[in-house]
Amino acid sequence: MGLLDNKTCLVTGAASNPGLGHSIAHVFAREGAEVLVTDIDGEGAQRTAEEILGAGGKAVAWQQDVSSEQAWDDAVERIRRDHGKLDAIVNNAGIAVLKPIEEITLDEYNRQMLINMTSVFLGTQRAVALMRENSTRGSIINMSSVAALVGVIGVTAYAASKGGVLGFTKAVAAETAREGIRCNTIHPGLIDTNMQKQAAVENTAEYEALNEAVPMGYMGKPQTIADAALFLASDLSSYVTGTQLVVDGGMINQ
Ligand SMILES: NC(=O)c1ccc[n+]([C@@H]2O[C@H](COP(=O)([O-])OP(=O)(O)OC[C@H]3O[C@@H](n4cnc5c(N)ncnc54)[C@H](O)[C@@H]3O)[C@@H](O)[C@H]2O)c1
């Protein structure tokens, strides 16, 4: 018996390895879900699905740009046609444009908001519609960050996008609670993924200082976030909605 037996779960941004979506897709499959793996990197998404199939799990993959409304409409059609329902979605795909306030351009800001925030709006809106169609008491999990909760230097637009995800998720949770649709955010601290490796290259000093600031003394593994997503996707969290689940080794505990 898996915690997600008979559930159909979509995970966006699941190509990058090591990456949060990749780890979430694997953990969901291990727990019995049929995982719909998507990413703008279609080949990478396919790779993740093949790994899952190779391990005896259930998965299908397709290329999807989460900032495209058309791509979301296509995804909805596909889920209706091939799977009939959606039990959980993890709006995980994202990018990090890490620049201080005076350096970031409007184009960079808009791109950051489009990929990290507008995408979450689109994915959540489509998921709510699919869940309502079948009266599914589904779970929507939106990937935010500790940057939405505390001031971090050099991440202005990124923090705006993740703060947007937080407020948006709470409003959706309020709108959908009566139908048993749950909507929550996860706020990772520093997690060892390709995104973090890139941040380390771009700003080594800041990166090292941040690492030293983790009270538990080490950077988290993607699995720690996948375990949090498993809790929120499963019936273990059946009475949890509108909450912000911080997984950060104590970073913002003050
Ligand atoms: N790693 C961390 O420390 C950390 C901390 C806080 C929040 N997060 C958030 O967690 C999420 C995953 O981060 P990660 O560290 O695994 O990053 P990652 O860069 O390793 O993986 C991100 C994935 O998203 C995909 N992606 C990018 N743009 C896309 C688009 N337009 N459409 C579809 N897919 C797209 C990439 O191809 C990649 O596979 C992001 O939303 C990130 O902001 C990460």
26 inside domain = yes
By annotation, the residues acting in catalysis are 158
Helix (H) or strand (E) holding 209: helix 204-212
Please state, in angstroms and rounded to a whole number, the distance separating the CA atoms of residues 33 and 49.
12
Ligand 1 centroid to Cα of residue 19, in Å, is 7
Query: Looking at ligand 1, which atom is closest to the CA of residue 15?
Result: 39
Q: What is the band of 254 on the pLDDT scale with cuts at 50, 70, 90?
A: low
254 inside domain = no
190 inside domain = yes
131 inside domain = yes
Tell me what pLDDT residue 146 has: 97
Residue found by looking up tokens 């596909």 in the block? 78
88 inside domain = yes
Tell me what pLDDT residue 223 has: 98
pLDDT digits (tens, 9 = 90+) for 133-150: 999 999 999 999 999 999
pLDDT digits (tens, 9 = 90+) for 206-245: 777 778 889 999 999 999 999 999 999 999 999 999 999 9
Q: Identify which of 135, 134, 127, 133 has the alpha carbon closest to the alpha carbon of residue 173.
A: 127
Phi, psi (deg, nearest 5) at residue 242: 75, 20
Residue 133 sits in a domain whose CATH number is 3.40.50.720
Pocket test for ligand 1, best of 10, 12, 16, 187 (most atoms within 8 A of CB): 16
Parent domain of 64: 8-240
Count structural domains, the chain: 1
25 inside domain = yes
The mean pLDDT value for 98-102 works out to: 93
Ligand 1 centroid to Cα of residue 95, in Å, is 5
Ligand 1 centroid to Cα of residue 15, in Å, is 9
